[in-house]
Amino acid sequence: MKFNELDIPLNILKALDKMGYEEMTPIQEATYPVIFAGQDLCALAETGSGKTAACAIPLIQKVDPALNAIQGLILVPTRELCMQYVAEIQKIAAQTAVIPYAVYGGFDKQTQIARVKQGVHILVATPGRLIDLLYEGILSFAQVRCAILDEADELLKVGFLEDIEFIMSCILHEHQTLLFSATMPDDIKKLAHDCLRDPRHISLIAERAAPESIEHYFVYSHPKQRHTELIRYLEDEDVNQALIFCNARHRVDALFRFLRKDFQDIDFMHAGLGQDTRSSIIRKFRNQKLRYLIASDVAARGLDFSHVSHVINWDFPRDGEQYTHRTGRTGRMGKKGKAFTFVSRQDLSSLRRLIRSKKIIPCWLGKDPLGENKAHQGWKT
Ligand code: AMP
């Protein structure tokens, strides 16, 4: 379905046209009538499927620009996602009088306070900074009509849950709540339901847990051989951009020190860096000024890097959800992508679970330690 077949005002249609959005993506088509009608929603869709615009378009339509108050509140788990989200809303709302703004940690709080005081219609926020501002008493949620939890399963996990409950408890009147996520583990599902009132459920990932646009490669090797194998892989492959994930900051630092000897257009990112540095690295990577980015999981969720051809798991992901989020940085919007995961002996039981739960068809480069894949792919020579 095309956007212009819906009753969307011309100033939004023009902006969408300028962005090159003509056809709705499946998640946009499925959720638009529900969001527009004011119903609560729990939507599961693959990462990179157009979830941001799916929320942003009806939300912008519903905002009354003449009312100088926060009417839409969007919570996201990371600063980068916050910036990405608000940038998309800004583009879609460019020709309207709707004012979106983002508040997140690591950025001057007084500047944010001053901006919020001037008037904001749609506020995108990370929970920590939002709570700071709530304590300062400068935010009013009296006019919030729609609250959105993006990457909802992450926001409802232990570290965030209390903050989210507190924030939601500050919206005292009836409002619409929308939950969006690419993954929703069972234990989180119940919490999600506690936030919703008679919700509609839309799942576009029920049949296949891992996107088909991604090929899943694995290599079984001793940790000591990984460095050589990674270099061989990066040199053999036709890499447009690669995102390399490690499980801890010190692992990111160490891999960066090693790889920068051989690769020039490479950088690293983790939560230990200052916000300005983080933002500048993300910008460079998004604009393809960097070819390789080594990162912790702050870069795993929701970030839209359209040119990433390869995602590499230097360290085996903690669980299936983390695998989905990391690998979802490639193969976006119908493009092809490759995921390449190093596996060592202690990862084998997690690997079995991953393959089963995400219905992954693994391609082994070299030995298949599970002995299930007879036709080994082998390394290119
Ligand atoms: P998201 O899932 O919101 O991160 O979006 C993934 C990518 O799809 C982003 O680069 C968007 O700009 C792009 N996108 C979203 N909706 C559409 C659409 N209807 N047509 C073309 N591209 C889109």
Of all protein residues, whose CA lies closest to atom 16 belonging to ligand 1?
50
Does the C-beta of 4 come closer than 6 Å to ligand 1?
no
Task: State how far the Cα of 144 lies from the Cα of 141, in Å rounded to an integer.
Answer: 5
For the stretch 304-358, pLDDT in tens is 788 999 999 999 999 888 898 899 888 876 678 999 999 999 999 999 999 998 8
In this prediction the pTM is: 0.75
Of all protein residues, whose CA lies closest to atom 13 belonging to ligand 1?
50
> Residue 213: what pLDDT?
82
Distance from the CA of 236 to the center of ligand 1, in angstroms?
30
Task: State how far the Cα of 168 lies from the Cα of 177, in Å rounded to an integer.
Answer: 10
Does the C-beta of 337 come closer than 6 Å to ligand 1?
no
Cβ neighbors of 180 (< 8 A, separation 6 or more) are 43, 45, 51, 54, 55, 148, 149, 150, 151, 152
Does the C-beta of 25 come closer than 6 Å to ligand 1?
yes
Pocket perturbation via mutation, ligand 1, pick of 44, 52, 178 by most ligand atoms within 8 A of CB: 52
Task: State how far the Cα of 133 lies from the Cα of 137, in Å rounded to an integer.
Answer: 6
Confidence band, pLDDT 50/70/90 cuts, at residue 379: low
Does the C-beta of 333 come closer than 6 Å to ligand 1?
yes
Distance from the CA of 91 to the center of ligand 1, in angstroms?
12
Cβ neighbors of 240 (< 8 A, separation 6 or more) are 291, 307, 308, 309, 310
Of all protein residues, whose CA lies closest to atom 6 belonging to ligand 1?
48
Q: Does 39 or 302 have the greater pLDDT score?
A: 39
Atom of ligand 1 nearest to the CA of 47: 2
| Residue with token string 């929701």 | 302
Which whole-number Å values give the CA distances from 59 to 33, 209, 304, 352, in the listed order? Answer: 12, 28, 21, 41
Question: Angle at which helices 275-286 and 79-92 pack, to 10 degrees?
Answer: 60
Does the C-beta of 48 come closer than 6 Å to ligand 1?
yes
Does the C-beta of 338 come closer than 6 Å to ligand 1?
no
Could you give all domains of the chain from N- to C-terminal order, each with its CATH number? 3-203 (3.40.50.300), 214-377 (3.40.50.300)
Structure tokens at 36: 């527009």
For the stretch 23-72, pLDDT in tens is 999 999 999 999 999 999 999 987 778 999 999 999 999 999 999 999 99
Confidence band, pLDDT 50/70/90 cuts, at residue 372: low
For the stretch 151-170, pLDDT in tens is 998 899 878 899 999 999 99
Distance from the CA of 62 to the center of ligand 1, in angstroms?
21
Of all protein residues, whose CA lies closest to atom 5 belonging to ligand 1?
50
Distance from the CA of 333 to the center of ligand 1, in angstroms?
7
Does residue 21 register a pLDDT over 70?
A: yes
Count of residues making up the chain: 381
Task: State how far the Cα of 224 lies from the Cα of 229, in Å rounded to an integer.
Answer: 10
Average pLDDT, the chain: 90
* Mean pLDDT across 274-300: 90
- List the beta bridge partners of residue 267: 293
Task: State how far the Cα of 7 lies from the Cα of 15, in Å rounded to an integer.
Answer: 15
Task: State how far the Cα of 151 lies from the Cα of 179, in Å rounded to an integer.
Answer: 8
